[in-house]
Amino acid sequence: MTVAFRRNHRELLRLPGDGARDSILAGLLSFILFLFVNPFLTLFLLALISMLHRVPALAFIVPASIAFAVFFYSREFGIDWYPGSTDDIPQYIQLYQANQGVSLFSLLESFAFRPSGNEPLWQVIWWTLLNGLGGSDNTFVFLHYLLNFFVLFLALRALSARYFISFALVYLFLIPISVDGLAHIFRQELSSFIFLAGAGIYLNTGRRVGKLFIYLSPLFHLSSLFWVAAFILFESLRKRRLFENRKKISLILLFLLLVCPIMLSITVTILDSLGVYNIVGYFEGRGVDKIRVYLLIGAYGGVQLLAFFLLRHDDLNHLILIMCVAVYSLVIALPAANGIYDRLLITALPLLSVYLFRTILENFHVSWRVPSIIVIFSIGLMRLYASAAAGNGPGAYLAFGNAFDPSMGLIKTLFVLFSGA
C-alpha cells in the first residue's frame, strides 16, 4: 500500500465531529449504553454514532467485550440448536478438565504426537487458568467468550481505525455463521481473529508484529495453517509486484487453480495418515447444510471477483483474492468436504465483508452511510429473529432466551444470571 494511498485514505475518513470533546462524550455514551441496553441494539446505535463522531477504541472494545461475553455466556450449554448440530461447549469443558494435574511438559509433548486438539498456545493459556489459578469450568467458558470478543474487536480495529464498529455490525448481522461460531466454536474463532488482527496490522501499518500474529494463529487452531499458506503465497506475489499487471496475475491465478487442488489432495492425504487433523470427519460434513455452504462459497467467489476487477486495488483486496483461490482449490480437491468449507468461511467471509463495506463507505457519498447501517441492522435482525422464532441457532437461547429484549443490557443480564430469574 503506497504512502499516497494512505494519505488519501486518512483524508477520506476525516469527518465532522472528530474533536476531543465529541470523542469523550461518544466514549462515555458507549459505556452507558452497554450497561443498560441490549448489546446488539447498542452495537447498532454506536455504529450510527461512529458515522459522525469518533468513538475511542477502548471505550468501545472493553465494555463491548464484557457485555457480549456475559450475553453469550448466559445460556444453557449442550443444546442441539440445529438438527444434527451440537453445542461444542461441553467438549471444550472436557478438554479443559483433561489438563487437571498434567505437567506443562506433558501438555506440550502431546502436541508433537497428536497436534489436532492439542495446539500449544491455546492449551497453555487454559492450563495456567486451571492448574495455576484453580479456575472453574464456568470461569473457563466466560473468559474464553471474553477473550474471543476482545480479539475480534481488536482485529476489526486493526482493519480500520475509523469504521471498526460498523465492521462489527456487519460481522454479527450479515454473516450467516458469525453468531453460531461465536457461541461455541471457541478455538477456531480465536485463531481466526488472531489471523485477522495480524493481517490488519501488517497490511495497514507494515509492522512485523502483524506477521507474528499471522504465523502464531495455527498454534491456537491448526485450520489457520490453510490461511498462513495463502498469506505466504500472497506475500510472494506482492513482493514481485505481480498484482500490478492484471493480465499476468489472471494467468497466475488460473495456473494456481489447476495446480493447488493437486497439491492439496496430496497434503491432506499425508496429514490424515499422520493423524494431524480429523480430515475424514469433515469429509462427511457432520450435519453441515451442503446447499448453504456451497451457496456461501459461490457468493464469496463471485463477490470477490467483482471486487478484484471493478473496485480499488490494494493489499487487502489482493490477500482476499488469494484466499478465494485457496477456497476454490480446496473445493476442487475435496468436493465432499463441506464441513471444512463451513469452518474456513469463518475467516474468509468476515474479511471479504469488511473489505466490501469499507469500499462502500470510502467511495460512496456520505449520505449513503447511515442508511447502509440501518439496512444491515434490519436485515440481520430479521434473520436472527426468524431463526430464533423457529428454535434454530444460538439466538433462541442467548441471555436465557431474552436475546431480543431491548433492555437486556449488561446490568440486567447479570441480574438474571445470578438471580436465576
How many degrees, rounded to 5, is the angle at CA 355 between CA 354 and CA 357?
Answer: 65
Its domain, for residue 237, covers: 222-363
| Nearest alpha-carbon partner for 323 in 245, 175, 182, 223 | 223
- Average pLDDT rounded to a whole number, residues 21-36: 85
- Half-sphere CA count of 23, side-chain side, radius 13 A: 10
Query: What confidence score (pLDDT) does residue 261 get?
Result: 81
Which range of 36-40, 85-89, 167-171, 393-397 scores highest in mean pLDDT? It is 36-40
Query: What confidence score (pLDDT) does residue 250 get?
Result: 83
Q: Per the domain annotation, does 213 fall within a domain?
A: no
Q: What is the DSSP annotation of 228-254? A: HHHHHHHHHHHHTTGGG-HHHHHHHHH
- Per residue in 160-204, pLDDT (tens digit) is 888 899 889 988 887 767 888 898 888 989 999 999 999 999 998
Q: What is the DSSP annotation of 319-337? A: HHHHHHHHHHHHHHH-TT-
Contact 325, 253 (CB under 8 A): yes
d(CA 344, CA 215): 17
How many degrees, rounded to 5, is the angle at CA 169 between CA 52 and CA 157?
Answer: 70
Q: Quick one: pLDDT band at residue 12, thresholds 50, 70, 90?
A: very low
| Nearest alpha-carbon partner for 235 in 351, 302, 323, 355 | 323
Q: Per the domain annotation, does 292 fall within a domain?
A: yes
Q: Per the domain annotation, does 284 fall within a domain?
A: yes
Q: Per the domain annotation, does 242 fall within a domain?
A: yes
SS (H, E, C) 353-370: HHHHHHHHHHHCCHHHHH
Query: What confidence score (pLDDT) does residue 16 get?
Result: 40
Among 49-58, 83-92, 263-272, 274-283, where is mean pLDDT lowest?
274-283
d(CA 128, CA 135): 9
Q: Per the domain annotation, does 75 fall within a domain?
A: no
pTM of the complete model: 0.86
Provide the number of structural domains found in the chain.
1
d(CA 307, CA 128): 44
- Average pLDDT rounded to a whole number, residues 148-168: 91
Contact 135, 162 (CB under 8 A): no
Query: What confidence score (pLDDT) does residue 325 get?
Result: 83
Measured over the CA atoms of residue 72, residue 77, residue 81 and residue 87, the dihedral's sign is: positive
- Average pLDDT rounded to a whole number, residues 18-47: 86
- Average pLDDT rounded to a whole number, residues 382-397: 78
- Per residue in 77-127, pLDDT (tens digit) is 887 766 656 788 998 999 899 888 888 888 777 766 666 667 889 989 999
Which range of 220-234, 317-331, 347-361 scores highest in mean pLDDT? It is 220-234
Q: Per the domain annotation, does 305 fall within a domain?
A: yes
Q: Per the domain annotation, does 318 fall within a domain?
A: yes
Q: What is the DSSP annotation of 285-310? A: -TT--HHHHHHHHHHHHHHHHHHHHH
Q: Quick one: pLDDT band at residue 67, thresholds 50, 70, 90?
A: very high
Q: Per the domain annotation, does 42 fall within a domain?
A: no
